[in-house]
Amino acid sequence: MNILPVEKQIQAIAALTEGMSIRATERLTGAHRDTIMRLGVRVGQGCALLHDRLMYGLNIGVVEIDELWAYVGKKQARVDVGEVVEKGDQYTFLAIDGANKAIVSYLTGKRNAVSTRAFISDLRQRVVNQPQITTDGFPHYVEAIRIMFGPQVDYARLVKNYRSVRGNEAAIRYSPGNIVSVSTEVVTGTRDRRISTSYVERTNLTVRMSQRRFTRLTNGFSKKLENHQAAVALFAAHYNLCRVHETLRTTPAMALGVSDHIWSIGELLDAAIGQKEEPKSPFRKGGPFRVIQGGRK
């Protein structure tokens, strides 16, 4: 049980959601880093349950989907055979409501068919209508969306082709590739559509700016998959409920209609810690990646 005073807990969670590292939060609050880490995991897991209770029965017109890379423990090239699931590359799948900018669904795991199927299944359980869906060119989306949403769903892919950067070693390692072409492909459906992943890609940047674990070229990366997943859940809850979107002038949750006010950090903390029910979805506990976030109740 965390015995930090409530004011210290609020201060610590606020610092974590603003992109501060565990040690920086320790210096700011005076609380030990292990206490801060345990608090972050506890609140993050509660935020995953809170997300399940709020984000369901949704009617959404446009969904944009993308994946965000990070790594846990060590780089993929150094992962041993017995560490394949828990260590190395870990991708966070995000599904964004194109109109209200809300994070509708998310999942952290390996970038493969199993994770993709689990993620699209979770999205299907939260949305009651047939939205227009746009993804990147990752091939496993095609089958997963067809199975979960049916063959008539309005689904398109936006594929970007890159060319490697030429120059000195630093430019090659740290600069993104140059986009040489962008192609669109209507996979299923016939409705006129806006084929774009701009909003979800911008959300990827917000994740990297708001969660220290996603910052490249630092030692702030997650050492345990459980901690990484909890950080993603905390970000999603704070983004949807507490953070006023500059374009919307309100929170995504209010724009979507699942909340009637802007949540404070204290309110989010109380709600997250108050979530007692164990996750029921097979993708949330005991699944192949011990993924925190999963299907609706």
pLDDT in tens, the chain (297 residues): 557 899 999 999 999 999 999 999 999 999 999 999 999 999 999 999 999 999 999 999 999 999 999 999 998 888 888 888 889 899 999 999 999 999 999 999 999 999 999 999 999 999 999 999 999 999 999 999 999 999 989 999 998 887 766 666 655 566 667 788 888 889 998 666 788 999 999 999 999 999 999 988 888 899 999 999 999 999 999 999 999 999 989 999 999 999 999 999 999 999 999 876 554 443 343 333 333 333 333
Q: Which two tokens stand for residue 175?
A: 């600069």
Would you state the torsion angle of the CA atoms of residues 183, 188, 189, 191, taken in this order, to the nearest 10 degrees? Answer: -10
Distance, in Å, from the CA atom of 35 to the CA atom of 179, rounded to the nearest integer, reads: 44
Find, among 171, 179, 220, the residue nearest to 201 by Cα. 179
Q: Which CATH class is domain 6-273?
A: alpha beta
Cβ–Cβ < 8 Å for 145, 159? no
Task: Give the pairing type, strands 155-163 and 132-135.
Answer: parallel
Find, among 81, 140, 89, the residue nearest to 114 by Cα. 140
Distance, in Å, from the CA atom of 210 to the CA atom of 143, rounded to the nearest integer, reads: 32
What pLDDT score was predicted for residue 178?
77
What pLDDT score was predicted for residue 281?
43
Helix axes 265-273, 33-54, angle to 10 degrees: 80
113 to each of 65, 134, 143, 235, 259, how far by Cα in Å? 15, 18, 9, 25, 33
Buried b (16+ CB within 10 A) or exposed e, 231-258: bbbbbbbbbbbbbebeeeeebbbbbbeb
Find, among 82, 45, 26, 12, the residue nearest to 291 by Cα. 45
